[in-house]
Amino acid sequence: MSGDGFDLALSIGGAAGQGIATPGNILARIVVGRGLHLYAYNAYQSIIRGGHIFLTMRVSDRPIYTHGDRIDLLVCLNQDTMDRHLGVMGAGSRVIFNSDTITAGDAADGVHLCPVPVRDLTDNNRNKLVQNTVALGVLASVLGLDFAVLEQPLTRQFRRKGQQLVHENVGAAKNGFEHAQTAFEPLAEAIPQGPKPFAVWAGNEALAMGAAAAGVKFYCAYPMSPATGVLHWMAKNAAETGIMVRQVEDEIAVANMTIGAAHMGCRAMCATSGGGFALMTEALGSAAMMEIPAVFINVQRAGPSTGMPTKTEQGDLWQMLGASQGDFERFIVAPRNALDAFNTVPELFNLCDQGQCPGIILSDVLISEGTFSVDPDDINMHPTIERGELITEPASDNGYQRFVDTESGISPRALPGLEGYIHVVATDEHDEDGGLLSDEFTNPHKRRKMVEKRARKFTTVAQQTTPPALDGSADADVTLIGFGSTHGVILEARELLQREGITASQLHIKWIIPLHSEAIIEILSQSKRTIIVENNYSGQFYRYLRSETGLDVHGHIRKYDGEPFMPHHIVDGVRKIMEGQTDRYVPVHELTV
C-alpha cells in the first residue's frame, strides 16, 4: 500500500488445472462490490495442465490503469510459485502458502511468511483444490474483512454444484479465516468500503457488449486465442440480444460470411488474432472494393506464426496497415482500455456505415483478457446509431447506380431485395453501375474515377474522428508518445516521474487511420524531448508515425518479452534516455513468469 490512499496488489500463482480462476473471480466480486477500483492481469501459458499461471490483482480506492510495480500479498499454490516470486517480495509483504506441500525459501527482511496447515484445517480432505478455498479465508482475515463478506460469494460460486459442496467450501474457508485470525497479523489498513459498487468485466466482454449496443445482429468467428472471449459472450447472450452467432470452419469463411451479412444490411462483426487475420485479408479488400461496411477485431498476441498465443504484444500494426493488396480505405482504431473499447465499437460502426468501408479494431491480450472494474453509469447501451446514406424505400424505376460518383464520394446504398433497385456488386473494379471494367474495356478514365471516389468518401467521413490532444504541459521535460494499451501505464509512469521532479506530458494516439498528422506535428514540434513507448521490437508505430509526419523522436522504450509494461519500466527508461545513457531502452521483466 502507498501513502496516497489504499492501493494493494495481490497475486495468486500456480499451475494450469489448480483452479486459480475461482478465487480470482470471488475476490474480484468482493472488491467491486465494495466500490473499489480493480485491475487484474493473468499471465498464463498455452497448456491445459502444468506450466505457470500468475494472476495479479490490484485494488485501489482511486482509478488505476495497470497491475502496478509490486506485490503486497502472494498466494502460492505450488512450490514453483514460491521459487519464482519470493525473491521480489519486499518488506511488509505477506506470502501465504500450504505448508503441507510447499517449503518457503529465503525471504527478504520484513517479508511475512504465512504457512497454512491445510490438511489439519480440512480434516485431511484429499481434494487438492480445497487449498484455494482455505487461502481465500486467510486472505479475508489478512485484508480485515468480516467472514460474511466472503461467505456470500462463496455460496453463490458453488451453489449450482449442490449444497454439500457449498457446506464443504464455506467450512474450509472459515477454518482458514479463524486460523489466520490467531496466526497472522492483518494489514495495517483494512480494505476500505467505496461510495458505490462497481461492475467487473474483461476487455473481450466490453467489445462484445459494445457490438450489441451498436446494433450488431450477426457475429461469427473461428476460436483463436486471445479473441475467443468475444465469441463466448456472443454465444452466451445471443438469444437475449437477438444476435445470430456462428462458429465457422476457418477465418476465410468467417470474413466472407461477415461481409455477406453486412452486404444484406445487417451490422456484422468478427474477431480473431494476427494469424487468423492473415487469412481474412483478401476478404477485407473485397469489402473495400464492394463498398460494404463491416468491422474486424484483431486481438494481438506475440508473433509471428503461432508465436506466444497467451502473451501480449503490439506487433500487428503493419499487418493492419498493409492488409490486402492495392490502395483502399479502412478505419483502424486502437482503444486504450476496456471502457474505451466498448465505446469505440458503435463509433466505428457509424463511421463504416457512413463511409461504406471496412474498419479494424486493434486490441491486444492486455486489454482483451484483462479484468477491470467499471462504473455501470459509464456504460451506455443505447448509443447514437448512424447508418449513413441507406435507401430503405422502394423505387418506381430501375435506374439505380450503386456506385454513383457524388461530390462527397458517398453513393446511396440500397440493400439487396429492395423493390425497384437492381444492382451488381463484384470484387472486380467496376463502373458506377457495377459493371466490370475488364469485361468491356480496361477504361483508365473510369478506373481513376472510381479510385478517387472511394478515397474522397473516406476523407469526407474521416473528418468526424477526433484528433489526439496533449495531456499535460507543452513545456514538460519530456513528452511520452504511445498508442493503444500503453495509455494507462504511461499515465501512471508520469505520476512517478513527477515525484522525481521530471514533468512528463502524454500524446496518446487512438486513430491509426485516419492519422491526424497536422495535429501531431503541431504538438510534437513544440515538445522539448520526445520518447515513444511501444510493445514490440522494431518500433512499428514509430516507423509509421515518422513516415506520415516526417518527425523523429529523441528516444524509444520498447518491450517485447510477452509481458506488459510496468510503470517503473517507463520511469527507468525515461531517466536513462534523459541522462544520455541510451536512446533505446528495453526493460527487463523482473517478475519471472
- What is the enclosing helix (H) or strand (E) of 176? helix 163-183
Q: How far apart are CA 121 and CA 64, in angstroms?
A: 36
Which range, of 127-131, 278-282, 332-336, 451-455, averages the lowest pLDDT?
127-131
Average pLDDT over residues 565-576: 97
* Radius of gyration (C-alpha) of the chain in whole angstroms: 26
The single residue listed with the C-alpha cell 501480449 is 312
The answer, yes or no, to whether residue 591 has pLDDT greater than 70, is: no
Average pLDDT score over residue span 533-556:
98
What are the strands, taking DSSP E only, across 88-247? 94-98, 112-116, 199-202, 218-221, 244-247
Question: Rounded distance, CA 109 to CA 458, Å?
Answer: 62
What is the set of domains in the chain, with CATH numbers? Answer: 7-183 (3.40.920.10), 200-378 (3.40.50.970), 390-462 (no CATH), 470-585 (3.40.50.920)
Handedness of CA 40, 43, 49, 51 (dihedral sign): negative
Residue 19: the pLDDT is 87
**Cα(58)–Cα(71) distance, rounded to whole angstroms?**
9
Question: What is the C-alpha to C-alpha distance for residues 365 and 143, in angstroms, rounded to an integer?
Answer: 29
Residue 593 above 60 pLDDT? no
pLDDT at 1: 45
Distance from C-alpha of 276 to C-alpha of 254, rounded to nearest angstrom? 10
Assigned C-alpha cell, 365? 491480450
Give residue 412's identity as a one-letter amino acid code: P
> For the segment 130-153, what is each residue's pLDDT rounded down to a tens digit?
999 999 999 999 999 999 999 999
| pLDDT, greater one: 589 or 189 | 189
- Euclidean distance between CA atoms 217 and 151, whole angstroms: 40
Q: What pLDDT band is residue 160 in, cutting at 50, 70 and 90?
A: confident
Q: Residue 282 and residue 432: Cα distance in Å, rounded?
A: 23
Confidence of residue 127 (pLDDT cuts 50, 70, 90): confident
Phi-psi map region of 470: left, alpha, beta (phi>0 left; psi -120 to 50 alpha): beta
User: What HEC string does 255-271 produce?
Assistant: HHHHHHHHHCCCCEEEE
pLDDT at 124: 78
User: pLDDT tens, 234-280?
Assistant: 999 999 999 999 999 999 999 999 999 999 999 999 999 999 999 99
- For residue 87, is pLDDT > 80? yes
* Strands ordered across the beta sheet of 37-43: 112-116, 94-98, 73-76, 7-16, 50-60, 37-43, 371-374, 199-202
- End-to-end CA, the chain: 23
Concatenated DSSP letters for 407-444? SSSPPPEEPTT-TT------SS-B-TT--BHHHH---H
Position 592 confidence tier, pLDDT thresholds 50, 70, 90: low
**What pLDDT shows up at residue 440?**
63
pLDDT over 90 at 455, yes or no? yes
pLDDT at 276: 97
- Please name the residues in contact with 68: beta carbons below 8 A apart, sequence gap of 6 or more: 7, 9, 39, 56, 58, 492, 566, 567
What distance in Å separates the CA atoms of residue 468 and residue 486, rounded to the nearest whole number? 15
- Give the burial string for 409-429 (b: 16+ CB within 10 Å, else e): bbbebbeeebeebeeeeeeeb
pLDDT of residue 24: 92
pLDDT recorded at residue 438: 76
pLDDT at 50 over 90: no
Name the CA dihedral angle for 585, 590, 591, 593, rounded to a multiple of 10 degrees: 70
Strands 555-558 and 371-374: unpaired
Q: 99-126 b/e with 16+ CB inside 10 Å = b? A: eeebebeebeeebbbbbbebbebbeebe
